[in-house]
Structure 1
Amino acid sequence: MADEKTIGLERFEMARGQSFRHHVHGEHQLAWASTGVVTVDIQDRCWVLPPHLALWIPGGVRHATAALRESVLQGVYLDPVSCPLAWPRPTVLAVSPLARHLIGYLAGELAPGVRTHAEAVLLEVLRPADGAVFELPLPADPRAREAAALLLEDPADQRGLAELAYAVGSSARTLLRLFLADTGLTFTQWRTHARLQAALAHLAEGEPVGRVAERVGYATPSAFVAAFRRVTGCTPAAYFARSRERADRAA
């Protein structure tokens, strides 16, 4: 990173399923997909990030990133010494239209004074995003983690607890206990949250609710909308409208 820069940027064009395995770097990072949808896995949590959301990753935190769709991942790297932002934990941020524009602007060649001003404005407009279904707790036990991976890979998987337990070499009772102990959610609750996480990626790309419901394992759109409302307190349309309103206000 050049001496005059507080913020460095890298652009990664990622194919569906492409990933960066767990790694650590000293800078704080803002992981943001300008197009597509990416996931970030940190220890016992997983985040799904459509383009109106980014994840603040503190320096020194081990993480992995993957593309759920063909995506452009923007890595925004911030010098911990000179950066005034210092959220101590991974934090979801709203990406306002102004923030989006500034990130693109900073990717170009700028005079030092102009860059300094643009960086300062970007840091001022970055704000945590409120809302539900941003992060998903992951179980630590290898058997439960394997079952979780099966459901994350195919949210529409209709196998019940007993069938999944058999697939990972466990019993239904043990798997039920592990999910509750490791994630704080029952297996059924965790599966619902996983499905809604997956749904966010499709909804962010403008897919119809009926198609999204089918993709993530719901028999009817109404059943999907009811589950979404139970967890987030609103319908999918209202959820995205609210998220974008917050991002716009941050501008």
Structure 2
Amino acid sequence: MSGARAAGRETRVLPSYAAEAAEVPFTILHWDESFARDTTWNEHSHPFHELLWNERGASTAAVGSRVWTITPALGLWMPSGTPHSGSAPAGTWCRAAFFGFGAVNPISPSSVGVEITPLLRLLLERLSGTGLSAGSRALTEAMVLDVLVPSPRELLLQVPSSALLRPIADAVLADPADRRTLADWAAHLGVSARTITRAFHAETGTSFARWVAAARAQHAVTLLTRGWEIDAVAEEVGYRSASAFGAAFRRTTGLTPGAFRGR
């Protein structure tokens, strides 16, 4: 691993490996790190399966044009050999579990969100310690594999890349409070609203309005995990009231902002 630091930011360069058997001391190997500065990772891949989650704060992981937000409540499963990049702001405490390739069956053939339930967290925490007997470790690993399942909820954003939609995506990601409507963007880009609608469905699988709501929810999660008040988060991500923000956030994440922050 190599790293470069500039202006309080660190970039880490990791190698890429194909999915293959790799020597690890256990079936599930734990890793964690608390970051003192904003940190990014280049696109890389591991020879083992990986589960990412956070003890504190929100980070992101990108697989192609798909970007997940990772929190203490929502993790991300990535099969071995999956090229991905990532970033974590200063203050984030990231954790990961590496699953030996060939030792376990992947829970999904592609990257997918995982709910970090209290039970799963407790089991993973037990594996991070020392002094477990071989029998206790094997039993705990088996329990992890039994409760580890894809979540119906995930903070996933499919970022469009076409020349038509990229200006919209760039503007919303830079400023989630941007309140320009579909009609506003159609007039700005000189196309019909129907053209933008069709393009969004083709590239992201969702509508313009739902995509904007998902982008706002991802940004809101980062602010909530940093301790921002709900009213302030609502204003920062473009909602006129905390109640409107709460309703939109719940439609996207399945939780109210208060419940999410509590978890």
Structure 1 length-normalised TM: 0.77
Amino acid at match of 2:143: V
Amino acid at match of 1:79: G
Gaps of at least 5 residues in structure 1 are: 245-251
Q: CA RMSD in A?
A: 3.2
**More divergent stretch after superposition (224-233 vs 41-50):** 224-233
Amino acid at match of 1:209: I
| Structure 1 Cα separation of the partners of residues 96 and 211 of structure 2 | 30
Amino acid at match of 2:232: R
Deviations 1:163-208 (A, max 9, x none): 87999xx655576654343113333332122112222333455543
| Structure 1 Cα separation of the partners of residues 170 and 32 of structure 2 | 28
1:152 counterpart (169, 173, 183): 173
Alignment of 1:94-243 (within 5 A): 94-111=115-132, 113=134, 114-131=136-153, 134-141=155-162, 144-145=165-166, 147-158=168-179, 171=190, 173=192, 178-204=199-225, 207-231=228-252, 235-237=256-258
Higher RCO (C-alpha under 8 Å, 6+ residues apart): 1
Q: Which residue of 1 aligns with 2:76?
A: 55
Inter-CA distance 17–172: structure 2 relative to 1 (3 Å threshold): farther
Q: How many residues align?
A: 239
| Structure 1 Cα separation of the partners of residues 96 and 228 of structure 2 | 26
Q: Which residue of 1 aligns with 2:10?
A: none
| Structure 2 Cα separation of the partners of residues 208 and 36 of structure 1 | 15
- Residue 13 of structure 1: CA displacement? 2.5
Which of the pair is proportionally richer in helix?
1
Inter-CA distance 8–184: structure 2 relative to 1 (3 Å threshold): same
Deviations 1:203-242 (A, max 9, x none): 455543212101211122132233335556764446778x
Gaps of at least 5 residues in structure 2 are: 1-21
Amino acid at match of 1:115: R
- Residue 57 of structure 1: CA displacement? 0.5
Structure 1 residue 6 corresponds to structure 2 residue 2? no
Maintained 8 Å contact 2:43/2:84: yes
Amino acid at match of 1:117: L
DSSP 3-state at the match of 2:96: strand
Amino acid at match of 2:212: R
**More divergent stretch after superposition (61-70 vs 227-236):** 227-236
2:95 counterpart (65, 69, 74): 74
Amino acid at match of 2:29: G
Structure 2 length-normalised TM: 0.74
| Structure 2 Cα separation of the partners of residues 49 and 14 of structure 1 | 15
